[in-house]
């Protein structure tokens, strides 16, 4: 035992009028529906089209959709319920599980975005060696690395925070459990744990961000002389990925890499990267990708033929 007497945590609701609460409830439920339907559609489309499934880019895209569904499901259903009830609680074990799963899926997504950037780098800068470098075995190893790395990252954060004693108060100024807010409620010194969680986060976020930056600097430099020779199409594909990267890292950087203020702006930024961003990813990739739209058209025709039988 760690000496804790707290058995549950209380979430503070969003301050504001009923109109604001209704707007947030509508936003969360709409985005979560899009997360489920949009990402499931991408997964089914890639799995149903052998040409897409064998292509590393779409294989990684299907895995990104799985992660988006998982990440969106960490907090969105409970947030919607708590908005209806104007507040909510979560058990101590449930809180630690939320910390673990959030950092598990977000860490795995950071690794995967870097792998997707590397895939585009090889395809654009080394096209003749692409099929050799990005073979099926290597792609599978990349995916195993992403999920394993995310799991280790999330588990370490959850274990470090769970070992702290909590004696009260138990009110979290957030809509989900995350270690910066939870550690503030510990009744012991948290300096060492804060250092370890910072190191853990930095070892995941910083190398991935730098690898993304380096990959796209090289890609953009390579594409400068290729317009009219497939460069425009490659730039469009990379543009979709860069939009996803910006939407993912932007709000996270705003929340985690500035002094915590605990205000409503931080909460709204967290809503954005927890709920809104995973709902935008399928729209970005489907609206800007002819191959995906074409495969979805084929899938739609297959479903129509099955219904007519």
Q: Looking at residue 242, what is its pLDDT?
A: 76
User: ∠ CA(142), CA(226), CA(290), 5° rounding?
Assistant: 60
Residues of the chain with pLDDT under 50: 1
Q: Looking at residue 212, what is its pLDDT?
A: 87
Q: Who contacts 254 (Cβ-Cβ below 8 Å, separation ≥6)?
A: 269
pLDDT tens digits along 162-179: 999 998 788 888 888 988
Q: Looking at residue 120, what is its pLDDT?
A: 87
Q: Please report, for residues 74, 160, 295, the alpha-carbon distance to residue 192 in angstroms, rounded to integers and kept in the order given.
A: 27, 10, 51
In 3-state terms, the chain is what percent helix, strand and coil (to 5)? 80, 5, 20
pLDDT tens digits along 65-104: 999 999 999 989 998 888 888 778 999 999 999 999 999 9
DSSP labels, 39-102: HHHHHHHHHH-HHHHTSHHHHHHHHHHHHHHHHHHHHHHHHHHHHHHTSEEEEHHHHHHHHHHH
- Mapped onto helix, strand or coil, the DSSP state of residue 209 is helix
Q: Looking at residue 51, what is its pLDDT?
A: 84
Q: Is 65 in contact with 282 (CB distance < 8 Å)?
A: yes
Which pair of structure tokens corresponds to residue 125?
């800068």
Q: Looking at residue 232, what is its pLDDT?
A: 61
Q: Is 175 in contact with 75 (CB distance < 8 Å)?
A: yes
Tell me the domain boundaries of the chain. Answer: 8-308
- Mapped onto helix, strand or coil, the DSSP state of residue 9 is strand
Q: Who contacts 117 (Cβ-Cβ below 8 Å, separation ≥6)?
A: 211, 212, 215, 216, 219, 241, 245
- CB atoms closer than 10 angstroms to residue 277: 25
Is CATH 1.20.1070.10 the classification given to domain 8-308? yes
């Amino acid at each position: 035992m760690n000496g804790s007497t707290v058995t549950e945590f209380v979430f503070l609701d969003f301050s504001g009028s009923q109109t604001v609460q209704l707007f947030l409830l509508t936003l969360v439920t709409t985005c979560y529906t899009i997360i489920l339907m949009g990402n499931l559609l991408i997964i089914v489309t890639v799995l149903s089209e052998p040409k897409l499934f064998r292509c590393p880019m779409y294989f990684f895209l299907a895995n990104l959709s799985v992660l988006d569904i998982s990440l969106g499901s960490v907090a969105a259903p409970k947030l919607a319920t708590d908005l209806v009830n104007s507040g909510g609680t979560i058990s101590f074990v449930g809180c630690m599980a939320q910390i673990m799963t959030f950092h598990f899926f977000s860490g795995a997504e950071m690794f995967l975005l870097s792998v997707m950037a590397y895939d585009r780098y090889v395809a654009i800068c080394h096209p003749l060696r692409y099929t050799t470098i990005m073979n099926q075995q290597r792609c599978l190893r990349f995916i195993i690395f992403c999920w394993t790395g995310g799991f280790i990252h999330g588990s370490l954060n959850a274990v470090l925070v769970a070992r702290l004693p909590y004696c009260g108060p138990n009110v979290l100024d957030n809509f989900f459990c995350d270690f910066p807010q939870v550690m503030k409620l510990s009744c012991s010194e948290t300096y060492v744990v804060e250092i370890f969680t910072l190191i853990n986060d930095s070892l995941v976020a910083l190398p991935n961000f730098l690898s993304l930056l380096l990959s796209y600097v090289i890609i953009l430099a390579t594409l400068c002389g290729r317009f009219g020779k497939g460069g425009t199409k490659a730039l469009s594909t990379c543009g979709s990925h860069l939009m996803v990267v910006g939407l993912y890292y932007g709000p996270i950087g705003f929340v985690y890499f500035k002094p915590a203020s605990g205000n409503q702006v931080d909460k709204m930024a967290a809503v954005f990267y927890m709920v809104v961003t995973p709902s935008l990813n399928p729209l970005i990739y489907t609206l800007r990708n002819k191959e995906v739209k074409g495969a979805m058209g084929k899938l739609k025709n297959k479903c129509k033929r099955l219904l007519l039988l």
